[in-house]
Amino acid sequence: MQRAADRIDTGKSPFIAAYECRGTWSESMSEAVSTGRSVLITGGNRGIGLAIAESFLANGDKVAVTYRSETDLPEGILGVKADVTDEASIDAAFKVVEEAHGPVEVLVANAGITKDTLLLRMSENDFTSVLDTNLTGAFRVIKRASKGMIRLRKGRVVLISSVSGLYGAPGQINYSASKAGMVGIARSLTRELGSRGITANVVAPGFINTDMTAELPEETQKSYLANVPAGRFAEASEVADVVRWVASDEAAYISGAVIPVDGGLGMGH
């Protein structure tokens, strides 16, 4: 692993048209050939973020991830310690990535936290700290990345939201609000920078097959699955494939969109 912590303290929707042109989503994604772009994923050292990083790396891109806790990363991924709640930390991380890989051309805003509790038990800090990391943190990294993208007159921004941000969830007022706000960022960014060749989209995963879900009691897993028409949890790689496709040239005319990867869980949101 490379580590850089020591250096810093047609009348048809675009989706239908894309589907008909390529036959299937999987075929289209597999054909999204890389041009060796500079890709940065925040919170990319584990879970969905790591799966996204590995997907871009396998496609030939130059991949960097930010992390807060020391961890091992696959060979070829540049790890940069950064705190998305601190602007100076973000700027320092970008400088390391730009020195190693050039200006960031694809940014995936994935870093996030949860502090779940019911409304009457939720402190103001529980609420604001989640928004500061998930939503304002996304704003900070997008603002920094946009400087290089504007100069290049091209760029891809993908925000990792959640179905919780689209239809809400009990005990997650803070988290749901932070993830819902990403839609506004993506759509405002599209109107502001779309003419510069920059797209901004939201990917909203549902239940993902992770170590955390595997540890849930069997009855809890069954209750979750009962609401998913697909009848299973998604694999992190399935989310990663959608993110990589949305960041490809094939999706250049898609911007301001919200793409759920949830097995039908949030239909109608």
The alpha-helical segments, DSSP class H, found in the chain are 14-22, 25-30, 47-58, 87-101, 124-131, 137-152, 164-167, 173-193, 211-214, 218-225, 236-246
Residue 64 placed within a domain = yes
Residue 108 placed within a domain = yes
| pLDDT per residue of the chain (269 residues) written in tens, 0 to 9 | 555 544 444 454 444 444 344 444 344 444 455 569 999 999 999 999 999 999 999 999 999 999 998 889 999 999 999 999 999 999 999 999 999 999 999 999 999 999 999 999 999 999 999 999 999 999 999 999 999 999 999 999 999 999 999 999 899 999 999 999 999 999 999 999 999 999 999 999 999 998 777 777 888 889 889 999 999 999 999 999 999 999 999 999 999 999 999 999 988 56
3-state SS assignment for residue 123: coil
Residue 129 placed within a domain = yes
Determine the distance from the C-alpha atom of residue 78 to the mean position of all C-alpha atoms in its chain, rounded to a whole number: 17
The reported pLDDT for the residue numbered 5 is 46
Residue 77 placed within a domain = yes
Q: Where residue 121 sits, what CATH number does that domain have?
A: 3.40.50.720
Q: Of the residues 167, 175, 224, 253, which is catalytic?
A: 175
Residue 257 placed within a domain = yes
Distance CA 140, CA 162 (A): 19
Biggest alpha carbon–alpha carbon distance for the chain: 53
The pTM for the full model equals 0.86
Catalytic: 224?
no
Residue 253 falls in which region: left (phi positive, over 0), alpha (psi -120 to 50) or beta: alpha
Residue 200 placed within a domain = yes
Q: Tokens in use for 2?
A: 């490379």
The reported pLDDT for the residue numbered 3 is 53
The domain in which residue 33 lies consists of 2-261
The reported pLDDT for the residue numbered 216 is 75
The reported pLDDT for the residue numbered 73 is 95
Residue 269 placed within a domain = no
Residue 231 placed within a domain = yes
Q: How many domains does the chain have?
A: 1
